[in-house]
Amino acid sequence: GAGVSQSPSNKVTEKGKDVELRCDPISGHTALYWYRQSLGQGLEFLIYFQGNSAPDKSGLPSDRFSAERTGGSVSTLTIQRTQQEDSAVYLCASSHLGGSQETQYFGPGTRLLVL
């Protein structure tokens, strides 16, 4: 596609429920990143994929968080047993590694609210 897309754009869920967030990166981009941004805060790195593998999972805040990427394209971020502190905007970005300049292109984000 023309840009990074994410779905859903907004998600309201009850505490304890599981949620799945989807990211469709720009076609051909091998690198995919997930970030979390709380209101008025900076970007918190969650996980990075190179192809289908995740060489860096260091940012996942707990074992309730997991992510996968299949076919080197679409990625899903899953949050199990959601907590109120999980409420944030979850941003996905993709980039094409290979050149000396790595520009990340961000999706519009998924706004998650846990009640």
Partner 1 sequence: GQSLEQPSEVTAVEGAIVQINCTYQTSGFYGLSWYQQHDGGAPTFLSYNALDGLEETGRFSSFLSRSDSYGYLLLQELQMKDSASYFCAVRGDDKIIFGKGTRLHILP
The contact set with partner 1 (CB under 8 A) reads 33, 35, 41-43, 45, 48, 50, 55-56, 91, 93, 100-109
At 85, give phi and psi (nearest 5°).
-70, -5
Strands of the sheet with 75-79, listed across from one edge: 5-7, 19-24, 75-79, 65-69
84: three-class secondary structure by DSSP: helix
Helix, strand, coil tally for the chain in percent (to 5)? 5, 50, 45
Minimum Å gap between C-beta 16 and partner 1 is 28
Minimum Å gap between C-beta 85 and partner 1 is 18
Minimum Å gap between C-beta 69 and partner 1 is 15
Nearer residue to partner 1 within complex by CB, 19 or 92: 92
Look at residues 91, 92, 75, 97 and name the one whose alpha carbon lies nearest to residue 28.
Answer: 97
Nearer residue to partner 1 within complex by CB, 18 or 102: 102
Nearer residue to partner 1 within complex by CB, 35 or 65: 35
Nearer residue to partner 1 within complex by CB, 27 or 101: 101
